[in-house]
A and B are shown apart, each in its own frame.
Chain A
């Protein structure tokens, strides 16, 4: 046998790619200079980036952190030989002096731990909802959190949130008990009527009484001291949390085959989505008190929260409706074939899946709402933008502009960007594929 072969039998060792294709050079060639139009585009973009950075960076890096007023800052810049009239560098002293105010508004500084604690607890309370790995026990915290947060931010008697919370226990107990003796419909009615009576007529005197017996409480903070990013987060979180249940009900109403109910839900949703948020805020600031019983009066922040909740629930309803529509029909049919009634099917089969699908939508609604909280500055609330105006009216910082907007924009960016990244991560994780 002659060892004859027409093709090479052993594999030639792999050679490195040519220098022009490998490594950094290759990467650049492939991704930025692959052909002439691409090269031109790259050069234009590079020129643009360089010109933007070269005008912004020297302005950003400006040693004015310790200046106490605009004039002082400008004299520092002038000493350094820079243009002392705003163009030469940023006056970061205003941020050093007022950053706490931009974060917390006029909240008493010795009590800053309360909103901070509330914010961290918010993270813990949301953990079981947002991350799969989190302990289920944290759900108890989630249930109690709204009351805890209310008490931490506004302070006052601890009995008020506790008695309000008791209303829910009463609703549950009422439902279970009445359900046993008089059927499910009466149970539902009892679970609505009993807590309403409790909240409307018993909570206020009872909490006052309990407070006079056992005065446990913390220093009460007026709403007008709330401001800055704390206010934005507070309005945003309240709006989303409250709008979720309302939005689910509206979405179900819109999907239902009861014509009147459907009509009402569609009208509400389309009305709210058809008008700008600012007009709803005008309603909050000028009209809401006219709609309510003569003499009733609660503060602007609460009124804004009510209107923002209504606003968000219309958008939430559409998000949830999208989730409901994305569920395959087989899920509904399977629930029906198991003989589940409407509410059981919703609770056990439909909603858990639909809500799971809608979480990215809910997060983006939240981002939108959070950004929209800046609109409250137009009706005179001191959100970060409102506070910037206030700071600019101060004589020491009169004429300051970009530093404040830059800071506010930066914080918003960090909040919203991280949330949108989170929502993308969720989208990937939840892509179970029906």
Chain B
């Protein structure tokens, strides 16, 4: 009955494929939208509201790239991916860029053939436990039941940590954060482990956040960042430098409030001018126009603004900048210069 529509769509898809041999940038511009892989829902990082509008820290990166490339921060098609589907989605071209709390590791970069465009969040794996448990260090957790999200680097780190400290544990693998949270709150596991940012985000949604503590041990390095496929260096450059533009804007004091003013005329600071395209043509080198970075910054503001708006101390998530402060403030967020 519906056979025809089915074949027809396949035919159309095959046709679309015929034209798709060009670079990712051309594909995105031809489609008029950026396909961005995000998580299925993590408060503060990527979450769809009741109207299906996505918002969050990772989502902001997607919107910035879309603004730089297409001139519209809303021209993004968000593809929710699970831990299992995310890499395939990126490798098969289902998404153009993956911004989903993904840790930059050797094997993902080299063996899975992805290109990490940089780090937008320096994270580490931590543990959260109820205060009532009386645990002060992760080393006290001998014999504890630990909830972990599967499909992430966390379960590997966990195995390594407990093995190297020679203590036993009982892993409870869980697919989604919401599920892990439910189990943790019901006491089906003693501790919950994931990236410290995820812990903060989860803890913030609890009824009584103060009843839970995040243990001091950070057992791994988790540099999270957006990634693209190997092999299309120009596209990789666009994503990398969009992220760098957001970081540099914070460093140079360009915010969503003053960007219109800065972009209108060349100012005194030559680096601001180069960034916003009022001087030179850095955009042209990327295959974009001059105002690409100014549009990217205008959507959600600079890196600091994005951070504060989605996960900063004034939000329910309440994460302090810490390692993620600009290098000028003693953090690790550092962009290569625009010149």
Contact = CB atoms under 8 A, between A and B. Distances in A.
Nearest to A129: B1
A222 B4 CA distance: 20
B15 interface: yes
Interface string A375-400: 00011101000100110111100110
B178 interface: yes
Contacts of A225: 52
B181 A204 contact: no
A97 interface: yes
A224 interface: yes
A380 B2 contact: no
A399 B11 contact: no
A309 B1 CA distance: 12
A181 B20 CA distance: 42
A133 interface: no
Contacts of A59: none
Given A199-B11, A380-B40, A398-B205, A244 B48 contact: no
Interface in A321-348: none
Interface in A200-224: 200, 203-204, 222, 224
B212 to A, nearest CB: 14
A289 B92 contact: yes
Contacts of B17: 293-297
A64 interface: no
A83 B3 CA distance: 54
Given A224-B77, A399-B185, A146 B10 contact: no
Interface in A264-295: 282, 285-287, 289-290, 293-295
27 contacts: A98-B50, A106-B48, A109-B51, A142-B1, A164-B5, A164-B7, A164-B8, A168-B4, A199-B11, A204-B11, A222-B77, A224-B79, A245-B1, A282-B84, A286-B85, A293-B14, A296-B14, A296-B16, A297-B92, A298-B16, A302-B13, A305-B6, A306-B6, A379-B84, A389-B179, A390-B40, A394-B41
Given A145-B1, A224-B77, A393-B177, A300 B94 contact: yes
Nearest to B78: A224
Given A289-B92, A395-B316, A297 B13 contact: yes
B137 interface: no
B85 A285 contact: yes
Given A147-B5, A389-B40, A160 B12 contact: yes
Contacts of B3: 146, 242, 245
A199 B177 CA distance: 44
B-side binding surface: helix, strand, loop or mixed? mixed
B299 interface: no
A203 B13 CA distance: 12
A299 interface: yes
B47 A150 contact: no
Given A289-B94, A380-B40, A390-B48, A199 B7 contact: yes
Nearest to B6: A242
A-side binding surface: helix, strand, loop or mixed? helix
Contacts, number: 158
B94 A394 contact: no
Nearest to A244: B1
Contact of B5 (A109, A150, A285): A150
B93 A297 contact: yes
Task: Give the interface size bracket for A toward B.
Answer: 35 or more
A392 B5 contact: no
A242 B2 CA distance: 6
Interface of B: 1-17, 20-21, 40-43, 47-52, 77-82, 84-85, 88, 92-94, 175-179, 181-182, 185, 204-207, 316
Contacts of A399: 181-182, 185, 207
Contact of A379 (B16, B20, B85): B85
Contacts of B47: 390, 393-394
Contacts of B48: 106, 390
A142 B179 CA distance: 43
Contact of B94 (A163, A299, A395): A299
A380 B80 contact: yes
Given A105-B52, A290-B92, A293-B17, 18 more contacts: A147-B5, A160-B12, A164-B8, A204-B11, A204-B12, A204-B15, A238-B2, A241-B1, A241-B2, A245-B1, A378-B82, A379-B84, A380-B80, A389-B41, A390-B41, A390-B47, A393-B42, A393-B177
A71 interface: yes
Contact of B13 (A106, A282, A296): A296
Given A295-B20, A295-B93, A392-B182, A302 B14 contact: no
Contacts of B177: 393
A160 B12 CA distance: 10
Nearest to A303: B94
Contacts of B84: 282, 285-286, 379
Contact of A106 (B9, B10, B15, B51): B51
A282 B88 CA distance: 11
A203 B10 CA distance: 11
A169 B7 CA distance: 15
Contacts of B316: 395
Contacts of B175: 378
Contact of A286 (B8, B9, B43, B88): B88
B182 A298 contact: no
B11 A203 contact: yes
A167 interface: yes
A236 interface: no
Contacts of A168: 4
Nearest to A146: B2
A164 B50 contact: no
